[in-house]
Amino acid sequence: MQPAQMYDRAITVFSPDGRLFQVEYAREAVKRGTTTVGLKFSDGVVLIVDKRITSQLVDPASIEKIFKLDDHVGCATSGLVADARVLVDRARTDAQMNRVTYDEYIEVETLVKKICDFKQTYTQYGGVRPFGTALLLAGRDSSGVHLYETDPSGALMSYRATAIGAGRAQVMEIFESDYRENVSRDDAIQLGLKALYRATEGKLNASALEIGLVTKTEDFRKLTAEEIKAHADRAVPQG
């Protein structure tokens, strides 16, 4: 039998136990990324990202982790941001092509599947590598509001509440115990910030947060710095 090292040099080679090591390495890149959470609330979905600023010399506004893909859908990323930008550009193109061709917004699930199909091709051909990023997509369409998680392998899953990146285990533990369906928008944001506070070991910084949301009646938008600070002040214990 070939040594294990022989199976992690090419994306197209399965190991004897059916693993693609390069895909697993891409997942590790996501696990090292910033903590990103998404939650459904009574009439929408919220995405929250801790941008994890490592130096006070960095301008937080220069780091973007939440992106608007179309009026009705946006995404948050964890992992390699440069890889995420490629997927964001691809998703925006797919969304615009649907509007030009059919004169209507693309269904959220259709857009997620297109992104995942594109990601999957990068696990199948030689000379390429998987995208080292995972995305949470939040959007609305004719069937309601949706929250999807995508994986570097091209897999997708729909969630009521989920997290990606570093600290995922701590966040999911809180969601499993505290999340309830049909919570209000503010309560969902507070729960997301509470989970981030736990995952970052109390190092939550309002200036390093991004929050995006979409509802059944409102387009996807990112909250202003003032709105984020107001929510963070409520979520972070004082004193």
Question: How many structural domains are present in the chain?
Answer: 1
Residue 24 domain flag: no
The model's pTM: 0.92
Tell me if 3 is assigned to some domain: no
In a domain, residue 209? The reply is yes
Residue 71 lies in a domain: yes
Asked, for residue 12, whether it belongs to a domain, the answer is no
Q: Could you tell me if residue 13 is inside a domain?
A: no
Asked if 169 and 144 count as a contact pair (C-beta separation under 8 A), the reply is: no
Q: What's the chain's length in residues?
A: 239
172 and 162 Cβ atoms separated by less than 8 Å: yes
What range defines the domain where residue 135 resides?
31-235
- The predicted structure's pLDDT at residue 239: 42
Which domain CATH number covers 44? 3.60.20.10
Residue 70 lies in a domain: yes
In contact, 210 and 76? CB cutoff 8 Å: yes
Which pLDDT tens digits describe the chain residue by residue (239 residues)? 455 566 676 777 888 888 888 999 999 999 999 999 999 999 999 999 998 777 788 888 888 999 999 999 999 999 999 999 999 999 999 999 999 999 999 999 999 999 999 999 999 887 889 999 999 999 999 999 999 999 999 999 999 999 999 999 999 999 999 999 999 999 999 999 999 999 988 778 888 899 999 999 999 999 999 999 999 998 766 54
Q: Is residue 214 part of a domain?
A: yes
